[in-house]
């Protein structure tokens, strides 16, 4: 018996690695700082290992991850670029951090003392960055406590502080506060003794890079814009979307007037309607809350509206005014023709949430 070929994917996310590299170049053209590529949450849903391997070829200073599990996945790929943990660590995670020489951010004296103990027990020195809470409220030392904290931590023989950073909570929403945040961070860095030992000073995320300037920073932490989405709608930076979420039409049917579509009968046809059922749903990460907000998808050269509620495995589109569609036709749910920002807006969400929410059953297909 001959082998049966595998069926094509029902839904998939095309990841354009050329666009990824293009976006990194656009970031570097915008700002001369070194780059920490933020690849947390599986590189914003794009695939941690492949994205990191692609970017490493272009000389990244750090990869920024959210936790030890992500750092471990990167390490297993053979990545040589330093790995930076963007958030605080649990006590039980810290020995692994020390063993693999990943760079932690320090949020408390107790955390620093524990890393010092672990480093000395292994006969090594841990490089770390100090985190400053300039308004995020999530972790780090208050600016008023930083001088004292830095003095205490520098006295610990198992630690070497090589950087300092903070995070912007509302650079895409509150310009006045963010300007104050940049000013206070810069003033703090300029006041620190032995400042020349802090080779990596970082504050700007994507919105920070696009809308603000610092006097002291040497390292940028782009996330969203690396994947081709600007957090500032008015930005003119020439970035391209990296992910295109796609599926196929499974079934096409003609429904009479007065026929409900999907759960709850929130949509009822008012005319003879050609309905295409598409093989993707909220089980794949397409947001259910778009129902009632008239989201659109792209098929055979034009946009068509979705009908009724998004279900777990399927959505329905109105093909009445788009003749010529057939089962198996490709459908774009977001990408170069339907911006993910549009999908997020209609879902009452943010593009970060949409991208990172694409589930594992959606196959990632990488293109150059």
> Catalytic site residue 40?
yes
Q: Which of 175, 212, 227, 263 is catalytic?
A: 263
Backbone phi, psi, residue 248, to 5°: -135, 155
Statement to judge: residues 275 and 334 lie in one domain:
yes
59: left (phi over 0), alpha (psi -120 to 50) or beta: left
Distances (CA, A) of 365 to 16, 94, 294: 9, 35, 28
Statement to judge: residues 44 and 188 lie in one domain:
yes
| β-sheet with 159-166: strand ranges across | 83-85, 62-65, 34-38, 219-220, 200-202, 159-166, 126-132, 105-106
Domain enclosing residue 80, as ranges? 17-227
Measured distance CA(71)–CA(62) in Å, rounded: 12
Statement to judge: residues 163 and 267 lie in one domain:
no
Q: Which of 25, 40, 175, 282 is catalytic?
A: 40
Statement to judge: residues 84 and 197 lie in one domain:
yes
**3-state SS, residue 90:** coil
Statement to judge: residues 58 and 189 lie in one domain:
yes
pLDDT in tens, the chain (368 residues): 678 989 989 999 999 999 999 999 999 999 889 999 999 999 999 999 999 999 999 999 999 999 999 999 999 999 999 999 999 999 999 999 999 999 999 999 999 999 999 999 999 999 999 999 999 999 999 999 999 999 999 999 999 999 999 999 999 999 999 999 999 999 999 999 988 999 999 999 999 999 999 999 999 999 999 999 999 988 889 999 999 999 999 999 999 999 999 999 999 999 999 999 999 999 999 999 865 678 999 999 999 999 999 999 999 999 999 989 999 999 999 999 999 999 999 999 999 999 999 999 999 999 99
Full-model pTM: 0.95
Statement to judge: residues 347 and 222 lie in one domain:
no
How many other C-beta atoms can be found within 10 angstroms of the C-beta atom of residue 32?
8
How many domains in the chain?
2
Three-point CA angle 187, 193, 197, nearest 5°:
100
Question: What is the reported pLDDT for 291?
Answer: 56
> Catalytic site residue 175?
no
Residue in 153, 203, 161 with CA at minimum distance from that of residue 145: 153
Statement to judge: residues 71 and 115 lie in one domain:
yes
């Amino acid at each position: 018996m001959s082998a049966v070929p595998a069926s094509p994917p029902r839904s998939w996310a095309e990841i354009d690695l050329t666009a990824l590299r293009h976006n990194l170049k656009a970031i570097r053209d915008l700002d001369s700082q070194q780059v920490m590529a933020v690849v947390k949450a599986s590189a914003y849903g794009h695939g941690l290992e492949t994205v990191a391997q692609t970017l490493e070829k272009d000389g990244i200073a750090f990869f920024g991850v959210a936790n030890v599990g992500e750092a471990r996945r990167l390490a297993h790929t053979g990545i040589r670029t330093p790995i930076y943990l963007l958030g605080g660590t649990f006590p039980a995670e810290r020995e692994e951090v020390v063993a693999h020489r990943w760079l932690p951010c320090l949020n408390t004296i107790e955390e620093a003392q524990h890393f010092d103990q672990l480093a000395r027990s292994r006969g090594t020195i841990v490089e770390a960055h100090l985190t400053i809470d300039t308004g995020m409220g999530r972790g780090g030392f208050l600016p008023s406590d930083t001088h004292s904290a830095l003095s205490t931590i520098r006295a610990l023989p198992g630690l070497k502080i090589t950087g300092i950073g903070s995070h912007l909570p509302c650079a895409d929403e509150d310009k006045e506060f963010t300007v104050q945040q940049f000013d206070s961070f810069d003033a703090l860095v300029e006041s620190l003794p032995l400042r020349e030992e802090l080779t990596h000073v970082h504050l700007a995320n994507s919105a920070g890079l696009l809308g603000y300037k610092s006097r002291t920073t040497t390292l940028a932490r782009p996330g969203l814009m690396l994947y081709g989405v600007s957090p500032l709608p008015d930005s003119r930076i020439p970035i391209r979307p990296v992910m295109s979420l796609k599926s196929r039409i499974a079934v096409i049917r003609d429904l009479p007037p007065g026929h409900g579509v999907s759960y709850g009968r929130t949509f009822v046809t008012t005319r003879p309607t050609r309905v295409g059922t598409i093989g993707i749903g909220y089980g794949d990460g397409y947001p259910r809350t778009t129902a009632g907000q008239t989201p659109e998808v792209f098929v055979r050269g034009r946009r068509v509206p979705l009908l009724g509620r998004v279900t777990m495995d399927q959505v329905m589109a109105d093909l009445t005014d788009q003749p010529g569609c057939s089962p198996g036709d490709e459908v774009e749910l977001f990408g170069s023709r339907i911006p993910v920002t549009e999908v997020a807006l209609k879902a009452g969400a943010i593009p970060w949430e949409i991208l990172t929410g694409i589930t594992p059953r959606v196959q990632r297909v990488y293109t150059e």
